[in-house]
C-alpha cells in the first residue's frame, strides 16, 4: 500500500540545512498495524507528514496504492488525501464552533456528498465510537477522550484505507488513552484499515505488529 | 463541495464574530447608502429638467437668422451680413407638409401703461399658433385670434404679473392698455406659468406680430418657432425649412436651426455626467469599506490558521478554501449592501417628506449597480486573504495553535 523509495527531506533553517529524512525505504502492506517511535527531532513527524501527503519529499519516490504521488499538484493531492487517508492528531483539531456531528461530517462536506447520506453515515459512526448521545455537543462540552473519539470518527467517516495517528494519546490520561488505542486497533482489525501510529510511549508502541524506530532521519 | 454547504460553512464562521460583522456591515452600508442617495438626487434632477423641456414639446424647431460660421480670410475682411428673417419667410414655411404650427416671434421692451400705472416689460409679437407651440394656457379670455399674420390688430394677451400689477383688483378683460404710443385691448390673461426655461411668461405682453413690427419699426423677426407634426417629421421639416429659406434668400444658407431634442439631449448629457461624477465620489467610501473587508478577512484567516491546516488535511483543495473565504467576504458585503440600500431608501423617504415638490426617484440600475459594486469590492479585496488561506502550508498551519 505504501512504498517509500530513497526518500530525502531537507529543511532550510536560516543558514543551516537540516537533513530530516535520510534515505528512507519503507513498505507497508494493506491492513498492517505499524508504530513509529523515536526521540523528538528524529524526523518521525516529517515522515508522517510525507506519508500523509501534507509535505513533499525533497527527493525520492512515494507510491500510494501503486500511484506515484510525488508528481501530483495541490488539487490532486487534496483529493487523494480525502479519499485514502484519515487523521488523528495529538491535539484533536476539532473546529470549536461546530458540533460533534458537524465536525465528523466535514470530510464528506468537502467531498460534496449529499446531506441525507451524510446524516446517516455520521449516525453510524457516532454509534461505533459510542458517542451517539453527544452528537450535538460542541468540543468544549466534551472530555479529552470524547474529543479524540470524535476525531477518530471523523477520520474513519470517508472509509479510508490508511489511518494516521500522531501521538493520539499524548494529551489524554492513561485510562482514556487506553480506550483510544483499543478503538484504533479495533478499526485496524475489523475494517482492515492500515494503522500507522507515532508514539512516545513504549508500552503502546510495542502493541503494534511492527515497530519502526527512527533516529536522525534514518530507519534503524 | 456543494454550493449550499459552502454558504452554510461561511455563515457559521461569520456567526461566531458578531462585532466584526457589525463593523463591516456598517462601513459597507454607509458607502452603499451614500451612493444610492446621491445617484437618486442626480437622476431626479436630470429627470426634472428633461421633463421640463419635454413639456414644451420635443418636436420643436427654432429658426434663427444668421449662421454660426467663420467667414473672411485675407484682410480686408468682408463679414457677411445675414439676410433678415421676415414674416413672408415664416409664411412660406407653411408649404412644408411636416409642419403643424408656425409662430414667428418678435421681441422688444416697451413701457406699458394704463390709468397712470406704468411698467417696463417684454413685448412679444406672435400669432395664434404661439399658444400651441409653447403650450400656453389661459386664465381668462382668449388668445390672439387666428387671422392673417400681416394684420395689425390692436389686441393683446397679458401675463399674470402684468394683470396683478396694472389691474390689481379689477377686471382686465376689455380694458385698454397703452404700449408706447399705441393702444391695445386686453382680450386674455395667461395662466401663471412661472419660469419656463428662462422665459418669464408671467411678466409679458403678447400682441399680434404685425403690430409688434410696427411698434418696433422693423421688418425682421427675432426667430421662428416651428412645431413639426411628429418626431420623425421633425428631421424632414428641418431639411425642408433649410431648403425653403435658402430658395428665398438667393441661395444663401444663412439660418441656424435648433431642434428641441438636441437641447434636451445636451442637458441630459450634462446631468448624467454630473450624476456619475457624484456617484463616483461617493463610491470612494465603498473602496474604504472594501479595505475594511480585506482587513477583517486577514484577521479571520490568521486566527483560523490551524483550522485551515485541518481542512487541508481532511482533503480541502486550495480552490475550495479560496471559495470558502471569498464567500465569507461576499456574504458580509451583501449584508452591508442590503442594509445600505435600506438606509438609503430611508434617507430618500425623509428627504421626500422635507421637499415634497422635488420628484425623488431611485433608478433600478442604481440599486443593481450598488449591489454589484459591493460584491465586486468584496471579491477584489477578499481575494488576497483568501489566496493566503488557500496557499498555506498544511504542516505549518496545523502546528499553529
Helix axes B318-354, A74-84, angle to 10 degrees: 110
Chain B residues with CB under 8 Å of A89 CB are 398
Given this model, what pLDDT does residue A122 score? Answer: 93
Chain B residues with CB under 8 Å of A93 CB are 306, 309-310, 313, 398
Residue B328 lies in a domain: yes
Given this model, what pLDDT does residue B166 score? Answer: 85
pLDDT tens string A1-15? 888 888 999 988 888
Q: Minimal Cα distance from A47: which residue of B?
A: B395
pLDDT tens string A132-177? 898 899 999 999 899 999 999 999 999 899 999 988 888 888 888 8
| Closest CB from A54, A95, A110 relative to B316 | A110
Chain B interface, Cβ < 8 Å to A? 1-2, 5, 9, 12-13, 15-16, 306-307, 309-320, 394-395, 398, 401
Q: How many Å lie between the alpha carbon of A78 and the closest alpha carbon of chain B?
A: 4
Contact yes or no for B314 and A83 at CB 8 A: no
Residue B201 lies in a domain: yes
Given this model, what pLDDT does residue B322 score? Answer: 92
Q: Minimal Cα distance from B306: which residue of A?
A: A93
| Closest CB from A97, A107, A114 relative to B314 | A107
Q: Do B298 and B348 fall into the same domain?
A: yes
Q: Do B241 and B106 fall into the same domain?
A: yes
The count of domains in chain B is 2
Given this model, what pLDDT does residue B71 score? Answer: 57
Q: How many Å lie between the alpha carbon of A89 and the closest alpha carbon of chain B?
A: 10
Q: Do B145 and B167 fall into the same domain?
A: yes
Contact yes or no for B318 and A97 at CB 8 A: no
Question: ipTM value of the model?
Answer: 0.91
Contact yes or no for B313 and A52 at CB 8 A: yes
Chain B residues with CB under 8 Å of A55 CB are 394-395
pLDDT tens string A67-88? 888 888 888 999 999 999 999 9
Given this model, what pLDDT does residue B117 score? Answer: 83
Q: What is the pTM of this model?
A: 0.69
Query: Which residues does residue A2 pair with via DSSP β-bridges, in sequence order?
Result: A28, A64
Relative to beta strand A59-64, strand A194-198 is: unpaired
Label residue B197 exposed, middle or buried (CB < 10 Å: 0-12, 13-18, 19+): exposed
Q: Do B273 and B394 fall into the same domain?
A: yes
Chain A interface, Cβ < 8 Å to B? 49, 52, 54-55, 74-75, 78-79, 81-83, 87, 89, 91, 93, 95, 97-98, 106-107, 109-112, 114-115, 154, 158
Rg (CA), chain A: 17
| Closest CB from B16, B315, B401 relative to A97 | B16
Q: What are phi and psi of A100, to 5 degrees?
A: -55, -45
Long-range contacts of the stretch B200-203 (C-beta < 8 A, 24+): B200/B122, B200/B159, B200/B161, B201/B134, B201/B136, B201/B159, B202/B159, B202/B160, B202/B161, B202/B162, B203/B121, B203/B122, B203/B159, B203/B161, B203/B162
Given this model, what pLDDT does residue B194 score? Answer: 59
Q: How many Å lie between the alpha carbon of B302 and the closest alpha carbon of chain A?
A: 15
Q: What are phi and psi of A109, to 5 degrees?
A: -60, -45
In CATH, the number for domain A2-219 is 3.40.50.300
Q: Do B114 and B241 fall into the same domain?
A: yes
Domain boundary among B253, B281, B307: B253
Chain B residues with CB under 8 Å of A115 CB are 5
Given this model, what pLDDT does residue A152 score? Answer: 92
| Closest CB from A79, A154, A158 relative to B317 | A79
Domain boundary among B196, B228, B253: B253
- B363, B39 Cβ separation under 8 angstroms: yes
Q: How many Å lie between the alpha carbon of B51 and the closest alpha carbon of chain A?
A: 56
Domain boundary among B205, B220, B253: B253
Which candidate, B30, B57, B48, places its Cα nearest to that of B275? B48
Contact yes or no for B306 and A74 at CB 8 A: no
Contact yes or no for B2 and A83 at CB 8 A: no
pLDDT tens, N- to C-terminus, chain B (401 residues): 788 888 888 888 888 888 888 888 888 888 888 888 888 888 888 888 777 777 666 678 888 887 665 555 555 555 555 678 888 888 888 878 888 888 898 888 888 888 888 888 889 999 888 888 887 888 888 888 887 777 788 899 988 888 888 888 888 888 888 888 888 999 988 887 655 555 677 888 999 988 888 888 888 888 888 888 877 778 888 888 888 888 888 777 778 888 877 777 888 888 888 888 888 887 788 888 888 888 888 888 888 898 999 999 998 999 999 999 999 888 888 888 889 889 988 998 898 888 887 777 788 887 888 888 888 888 888 888 999 888 888 888 888 76
B220 DSSP 8-state letter? B
Q: How many Å lie between the alpha carbon of A93 and the closest alpha carbon of chain B?
A: 7
Q: Do B233 and B281 fall into the same domain?
A: no
Given this model, what pLDDT does residue B198 score? Answer: 58
The separation between CA B126 and the C-alpha centre of its own chain, rounded to angstroms, equals 30
Which of B6, B18, B313 would you mutate first to test chain A, the one with the most A CBs within 10 A? B313
Q: Is the pLDDT of residue A120 over 90?
A: yes
Residue B77 lies in a domain: no
Work out how many CB contacts closer than 8 A connect A with B.
68
Given this model, what pLDDT does residue B72 score? Answer: 56
- B180, B166 Cβ separation under 8 angstroms: no
Residue B358 lies in a domain: yes
Label residue B100 exposed, middle or buried (CB < 10 Å: 0-12, 13-18, 19+): middle
Q: Minimal Cα distance from A76: which residue of B?
A: B317
Contact yes or no for B314 and A82 at CB 8 A: yes
Mean pLDDT for all residues in chain A: 89
Q: Do B223 and B367 fall into the same domain?
A: no
Given this model, what pLDDT does residue B45 score? Answer: 84
Query: Which residues does residue B259 pair with via DSSP β-bridges, in sequence order?
Result: B61
Contact yes or no for B310 and A93 at CB 8 A: yes
Chain B residues with CB under 8 Å of A98 CB are 12
Residue B124 lies in a domain: yes
Which candidate, A166, A22, A6, places its Cα nearest to that of A93? A166
Instruction: Write down the domain spans for chain A.
Output: 2-219
Q: Do B282 and B365 fall into the same domain?
A: yes
Q: Do B269 and B249 fall into the same domain?
A: no
Which of A55, A64, A78, A167 would you mutate first to test chain B, the one with the most B CBs within 10 A? A78
Residue B22 lies in a domain: yes
Contact yes or no for A89 and B311 at CB 8 A: no
Which domain does B45 fall in, by range?
Answer: 3-53+265-399
pLDDT tens string A173-197? 888 888 899 999 998 888 888 999 9
Residue B161 lies in a domain: yes
Residue B12 lies in a domain: yes
Amino acid at each position: 500500500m505504501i512504498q517509500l523509495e530513497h526518500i530525502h527531506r531537507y529543511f532550510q533553517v536560516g543558514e543551516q540545512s537540516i537533513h530530516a529524512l535520510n534515505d528512507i525505504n519503507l513498505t507497508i502492506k494493506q491492513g498492517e498495524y505499524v508504530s513509529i517511535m523515536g526521540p523528538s527531532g528524529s524526523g518521525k513527524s516529517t515522515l508522517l507528514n510525507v506519508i500523509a501527503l501534507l509535505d513533499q519529499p525533497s527527493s525520492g519516490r512515494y507510491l500510494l496504492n501503486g500511484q506515484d504521488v510525488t508528481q501530483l499538484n495541490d488539487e490532486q493531492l487534496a483529493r487523494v488525501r480525502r479519499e485514502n487517508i484519515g487523521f488523528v492528531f495529538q491535539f484533536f483539531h476539532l473546529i470549536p464552533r461546530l458540533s460533534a456531528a458537524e465536525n465528523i461530517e466535514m470530510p464528506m462536506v468537502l467531498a460534496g456528498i449529499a446531506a441525507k447520506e451524510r446524516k446517516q453515515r455520521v449516525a453510524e459512526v457516532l454509534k461505533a465510537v459510542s458517542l451517539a448521545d453527544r452528537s450535538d455537543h460542541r468540543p468544549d462540552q466534551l472530555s479529552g477522550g470524547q474529543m479524540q473519539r470524535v476525531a477518530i470518527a471523523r477520520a474513519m467517516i470517508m472509509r479510508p484505507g490508511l489511518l494516521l495517528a500522531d501521538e493520539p494519546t499524548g494529551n489524554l490520561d492513561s485510562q482514556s488513552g487506553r480506550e483510544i488505542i483499543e478503538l484504533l486497533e479495533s478499526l485496524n482489525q475489523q475494517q482492515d484499515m492500515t494503522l500507522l501510529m507515532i508514539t512516545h510511549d513504549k508500552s503502546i508502541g510495542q502493541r503494534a505488529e511492527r515497530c519502526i524506530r527512527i533516529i536522525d532521519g534514518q530507519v534503524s | 463541495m456543494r454550493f449550499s454547504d459552502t454558504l452554510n460553512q461561511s455563515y457559521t464562521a461569520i456567526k461566531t464574530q458578531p462585532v466584526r460583522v457589525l463593523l463591516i456591515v456598517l462601513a459597507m452600508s454607509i458607502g452603499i447608502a451614500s451612493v444610492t442617495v446621491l445617484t437618486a438626487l442626480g437622476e431626479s434632477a436630470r429627470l426634472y429638467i428633461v421633463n421640463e423641456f419635454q413639456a414644451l414639446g420635443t418636436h420643436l424647431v427654432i429658426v434663427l437668422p444668421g449662421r454660426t460660421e467663420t467667414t473672411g480670410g485675407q484682410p480686408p475682411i468682408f463679414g457677411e451680413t445675414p439676410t433678415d428673417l421676415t414674416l413672408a419667410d415664416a409664411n412660406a414655411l407653411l408649404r412644408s407638409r411636416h409642419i403643424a404650427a408656425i409662430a414667428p416671434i418678435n421681441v422688444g421692451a416697451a413701457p406699458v401703461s394704463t390709468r397712470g400705472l406704468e411698467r417696463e416689460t417684454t413685448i412679444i409679437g406672435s400669432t395664434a399658433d404661439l399658444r400651441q407651440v409653447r403650450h400656453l394656457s389661459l386664465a381668462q379670455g382668449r388668445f390672439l385670434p387666428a387671422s392673417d399674420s400681416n394684420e395689425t390688430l390692436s389686441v393683446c394677451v397679458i401675463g399674470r404679473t402684468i394683470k396683478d400689477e396694472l389691474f390689481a383688483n379689477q377686471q382686465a378683460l376689455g380694458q385698454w392698455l397703452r404700449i408706447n404710443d399705441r393702444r391695445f385691448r386686453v382680450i386674455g390673461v395667461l395662466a401663471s406659468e412661472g419660469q419656463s426655461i428662462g422665459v418669464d411668461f408671467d411678466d409679458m405682453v403678447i400682441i399680434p406680430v404685425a403690430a409688434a413690427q410696427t411698434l418696433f419699426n422693423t421688418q425682421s423677426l427675432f426667430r421662428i418657432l416651428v412645431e413639426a407634426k411628429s418626431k420623425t417629421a421633425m428631421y424632414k421639416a428641418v431639411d425642408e425649412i433649410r431648403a425653403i429659406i435658402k430658395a428665398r434668400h438667393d441661395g444663401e444658407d444663412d439660418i441656424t436651426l435648433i431642434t428641441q431634442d438636441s437641447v434636451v439631449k445636451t442637458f441630459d448629457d450634462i446631468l448624467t455626467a454630473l450624476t456619475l461624477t457624484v456617484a463616483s465620489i461617493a463610491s470612494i467610501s465603498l473602496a474604504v469599506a472594501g479595505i475594511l473587508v480585506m482587513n477583517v478577512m486577514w484577521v479571520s484567516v490568521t486566527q483560523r490558521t490551524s483550522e485551515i491546516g485541518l481542512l487541508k488535511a481532511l482533503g480541502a483543495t486550495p480552490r475550495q478554501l479560496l471559495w470558502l473565504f471569498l464567500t465569507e467576504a461576499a456574504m458580509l458585503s451583501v449584508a452591508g449592501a442590503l442594509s445600505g440600500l435600506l438606509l438609503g431608501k430611508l434617507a430618500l423617504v425623509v428627504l421626500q417628506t422635507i421637499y415634497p415638490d422635488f420628484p425623488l426617484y431611485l433608478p433600478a440600475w442604481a440599486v443593481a449597480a450598488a449591489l454589484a459594486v459591493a460584491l465586486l469590492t468584496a471579491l477584489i479585496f477578499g481575494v488576497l486573504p483568501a489566496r493566503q488561506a488557500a496557499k498555506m502550508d498544511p504542516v505549518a498551519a496545523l502546528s499553529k495553535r
